[in-house]
Amino acid sequence: MKITLSHLTKKFPARGRKGKAAAEVVAVNDFTFEIPDGSLVGLLGPSGCGKSTTLNLICGLQKPTEGQIFFGEEDVTTLSPQQRGVGMVFQNYALYPHLNVEQNIRFPLENLKGAEKLSKEEMRSRVEEAASLVQLDGLLERKPAELSGGQQQRVAIARALVKLPRVLLLDEPLSNLDARLRLQTREEIRRIQKKTGITTLFVTHDQDEAMSISDLIVVMQEGVVQQIGKPQEVYDDPANLFVAKFLGTPPINLFTGTVKDGALYIGEETVLQVKGVPDQPVQVGIRPEGFLVSETGTFTCALSRPEVLGRDISILASHPCSVNPNVRAIVDAESCEHLSGDTVRFLLKSQKVLLFEQTTGSRIPFESGR
Ligand code: ADP
Ligand code: MG
């Protein structure tokens, strides 16, 4: 089921204290997007950027101030959550502690009315199907307290799937799990999504999580969509400084620089040819994998220390034009044979160097040439 958001907007009224003005919050601002049928889309952004509000609008828990939502060709904007056929997993997935796994999963089926009402046997087989999909067979008799965090999360997912929803919405479903379980469970979610083919919107503030399992990611900031694309495209080709900074671990290195006569300067050094860029001050982003240690390098940093990562080496350095105290370069282990003394010289890989307008943070495209 394709989902279409058309100029979706949600404003919350100002709620200032008496006598004090407070600005209205635009939690979601003119969001237009088509979630392709059968895809898993990751909605990514920092806390408070409007992710949960977007999900609540899609599932019908909140009404948009403006705009429309379509499931397929059907306008569902005014439908109740029950009428929409949406499965939702919340961040605090709150299982009923006094019910066992089977009863928890079955719960949404018990309230179905009229033509949708199911017999005991139908419910039983739906529950078994959902439980087996999330690999909980054999645990149906247990109470939530007798399950691990990951298993509890899978119960919540099974509960969302048991109604055979047209759309699955997951709001930070992994944030209560420890690091290892998060990894496992996100792969699990991807597997379940592939198997069922249910169009899924997955909300997270964790870029690793979004990048690793999504077909498409949507990056949001303060209610405004910044960029939509395949994870690799958004990483390689961010629309602006916000997106560049938000994606990537370790994060992108940032410098103040200047473009003059088609050359990029950081400090006094010419570090790259950037054809077609008018002379101006710029913000320079360099991905950690964009450095090559080289005696002929023209970008000189003060060497703090190399950190051994095994296959690669992470070089910690500093530079007077760096926005952050540390510059981090990830290079292969062999190149560190050249490392000695207090400085390290780098050549830069042009496709890993990104330029941004100094004031707006918009991306400045350039042709590289040496
Ligand atoms: P996220 O899920 O990305 O952390 P939310 O969608 O929960 O963000 O919130 C987006 C913005 O809307 C925040 O500034 C939040 O304070 C505000 N907001 C969310 N829900 C309400 C509400 N019911 N009333 C007023 N403001 C709200
Ligand atoms: Mg949220």
Which of helix, strand or coil describes residue 131? Answer: helix
Please give the Cα distance from 217 to 49 (Å, whole number): 15
Q: Are residues 145 and 206 in the same domain?
A: yes
Give the DSSP per-residue string, 173-187: TTTTS-HHHHHHHHH
Q: What is the distance in A from the centroid of ligand 2 to the CA of 172?
A: 7
Q: Are residues 125 and 219 in the same domain?
A: yes
Please give the Cα distance from 138 to 104 (Å, whole number): 15
Can you tell me which atom of ligand 1 is nearest the CA of 56? 6
Please give the Cα distance from 366 to 280 (Å, whole number): 13
Q: Are residues 137 and 25 in the same domain?
A: yes
Mean pLDDT, the chain, integer: 92
Nearest CA to ligand 1 atom 1: 48
Confidence of residue 19 (pLDDT cuts 50, 70, 90): low
Quick one: which ligand is closest to 28's CA?
Answer: 1
Give yes or no for a contact between 29 and 223, defined as CB atoms under 8 angstroms apart.
yes
pLDDT at 20: 67
Give the CATH number of the domain where residue 17 resides. Answer: 3.40.50.300
Can you tell me which atom of ligand 1 is nearest the CA of 55? 6
Comparing 181-185, 229-233, 240-244, which segment has the lowest mean pLDDT? Answer: 181-185
Q: Are residues 111 and 157 in the same domain?
A: yes
Q: What is the distance in A from the centroid of ligand 1 to the CA of 26?
A: 9
Q: Are residues 206 and 263 in the same domain?
A: no
DSSP 100: -
Q: Are residues 238 and 116 in the same domain?
A: yes
Q: Are residues 65 and 96 in the same domain?
A: yes
Q: How far is CA 94 from the centre of its chain?
A: 23
Domain boundary among 223, 246, 269: 246
Q: What is the distance in A from the centroid of ligand 2 to the CA of 40?
A: 18
Which spans in the chain are helix H?
51-59, 81-84, 101-110, 120-133, 149-161, 179-196, 207-213, 231-236, 241-246
Q: Which residues line ligand 1 (CB under 6 A)?
A: 12, 25, 27, 45, 47-53
Can you tell me which atom of ligand 1 is nearest the CA of 52? 2
Pairing of strands 199-204, 216-221: unpaired
Q: Are residues 41 and 131 in the same domain?
A: yes
Q: What is the span of the domain harbouring residue 275?
A: 253-368
Tell me the pTM.
Answer: 0.91
Which of helix, strand or coil describes residue 74? Answer: strand
Q: Are residues 349 and 289 in the same domain?
A: yes
Comparing 2-11, 48-57, 145-154, which segment has the lowest mean pLDDT? Answer: 145-154
Give yes or no for a contact between 313 and 332, defined as CB atoms under 8 angstroms apart.
yes
Domain boundary among 226, 246, 266: 246
| Highest mean pLDDT out of 90-99, 181-190, 207-216 | 207-216
pLDDT at 181: 81
Query: In the chain, how many domains are there?
Result: 2
Best of 24, 25, 62, 172 to mutate for ligand 1, by most ligand atoms within 8 A of CB?
A: 25
Domain boundary among 213, 246, 279: 246
Q: Are residues 11 and 119 in the same domain?
A: yes
Q: Are residues 207 and 278 in the same domain?
A: no
